[in-house]
Amino acid sequence: MRNFKSLRPEIFALGNSRFSTAAEPSSKQNPPRVPNLIGGSFVDSQSSEFIDVINPATQQVVSQVPLTSNEEFKAAVSAAKQAFPAWRNTPVTTRQRIMFKLQELIRRDMDKLAMNITTEQGKTLKDAHGDVFRGLEVVEHACGMATLQMGEFVPNVSSGIDTFSIREPLGVCAGICPFNFPAMIPLWMFPVAVTCGNTFVLKPSEKDPGASIMLAELAMEAGLPDGVLNIVHGTQNIVNAICDDEDIRAVSFVGSNMAGMHIYSRASAKGKRVQSNMGAKNHAIVLPDASIDATLNALVAAGFGAAGQRCMALSTVVFVGGSKSWEDKLLDRAKGLKVTAGTEPDADLGPVISKQAKERICKLIQSGVEGGARLVHDGRNIVVPGYEHGNFIGPTILSDVTADMECYKEEIFGPVLLCMQADSLDEAIKTVNRNKYGNGASIFTSSGVAARKFQTEIEAGQVGINVPIPVPLPFFSFTGSKGSFAGDLNFYGKAGVQFYTQIKTVTQQWKGLGSGSGVSMAMPTSQK
């Protein structure tokens, strides 16, 4: 059992040269090991199986994450269960104050968190700061939890009888996180859950667990009691354990469709609440009257930013009236982007997460070419000086893409922009709506009439009008739909509070001691 502060110099002092700039794969024999968090203590796993956490720009092993044993997982759930009674009875104002302190500490350590994310995940430092900040906004929203949890009251629903409803926490909840937002997604989950009065078991991505560990340390520094937040690690076995455990009441997941539907089906079958954010194929429709420079900048940023590894990446553009007049300008902007390690100050795109991810992306690009798409710009063979071993793919543009191509049907999750064409807005909307996913869709136009038609007819949960990535701020909810979401209640906002709470309705009657009128065997009603 170790205090985390003793781990930080080993694992997270990322200014250390052995974490930041080496171009060759690491030869270090004993990289630091990422601990579990169980009952308020950072504990070395007794597992003999570990996964290397690899810097995708250098292939250097940053740390090793354990495959948490079943006994350790049970201990984490038990710690959460034991912490729940006292935590649920902690005043909501006290829980809010902990969130106030947590957001202050996240701001204090923003640079350290961003550097860890860039080292483990690969995104640029600027983008890593955005990753942390979008999660921080959810923490800020949780600071107003008392208002969000207010119930309802109706006096005198019948003679002398009042009815009111209250929101109560569920108990132990769990979160399963993806690799692409190491700070934002955990912060979508546990701050809302614990401020509602639940306790939490978090499983970070095995590819980049460092930010979750750092956030947990900050949460405890902010005053979160022992056992309220616990962290375990692993892959399929630990995911299945979360789905099956009888003490876990709700599961939050963000990731791929295959994993998301497995988790939704398995956990739901055990009677758990599940919210599962999954894959996407986000479209933009560009009308001829769109502002040229603003639209081009939006398409490039949303299509290639974070190396395309966003569930709200704008991966497909439908040009109404033809794409040729836009392609040359898109090409110029794509060529101007700097692909290099995320720690470099002028980086626009970092690497993708793994060699396997790069191979899959290249395969989907090739399938498009073989299917008849026109390769406007090819970023597959890029070599980054000083980082020759990195998982880099440059901005890639495929044009003349059709809906039957594999590159269109599959979520690429890389810096690849697909260009399609439509003769009219109606045809473009039908193209978008035929796609199985429904995370987001945008339109670029100067016509209010066209924009209103689009927002009414488009079948996507999040709509942008001249906005390329329409992710709502936390006082709304992240409302992906269709094949991009499984469950009934979305992440954060009012829906997030509803997900992590259950309603109890109380009907009460107070009468004087001598007011009895005998026994009535009839169904109680509000009639006198």
Q: Which residues are catalytic?
A: 311
> Which of 250, 126, 238 lies closest to 502 in space, CA to CA?
250
- Output the six-digit token pair for 437: 């996913």
DSSP annotation of 305 = G
CA dihedral 41, 46, 49, 54 (to 10 degrees): 30
- Output the six-digit token pair for 80: 């959460």
Cα separation, 101 vs 105, in Å, equals 6
CA dihedral 127, 129, 134, 139 (to 10 degrees): 160
Q: What is the CA radius of gyration of the chain?
A: 25
DSSP annotation of 207 = T
Q: Any idea which residue has 């455990």 for tokens?
A: 245
Question: Is residue 345 packed enough to be buried (19+ CB in 10 Å), middle (13-18) or exposed (0-12)?
Answer: exposed
**Size of the chain in residues:** 528
Q: How far is CA 285 from the centre of its chain?
A: 25
Question: Is residue 250 packed enough to be buried (19+ CB in 10 Å), middle (13-18) or exposed (0-12)?
Answer: buried
Q: Any idea which residue has 């079948």 for tokens?
A: 459
Q: What residues pair up with 43 in beta bridges, in sequence order?
A: 36
Question: Is residue 147 packed enough to be buried (19+ CB in 10 Å), middle (13-18) or exposed (0-12)?
Answer: exposed
3-state secondary structure of 474: coil
Q: b or e along 291-311 (b: 16 or more beta carbons within 10 Å of the residue's beta carbon)?
A: eeeebbebbbbbbbbbbbbbb
Answer for the pair 139, 99: CB distance below 8 angstroms, yes or no. Answer: yes
Question: Is residue 71 packed enough to be buried (19+ CB in 10 Å), middle (13-18) or exposed (0-12)?
Answer: exposed
- Output the six-digit token pair for 236: 């399929």
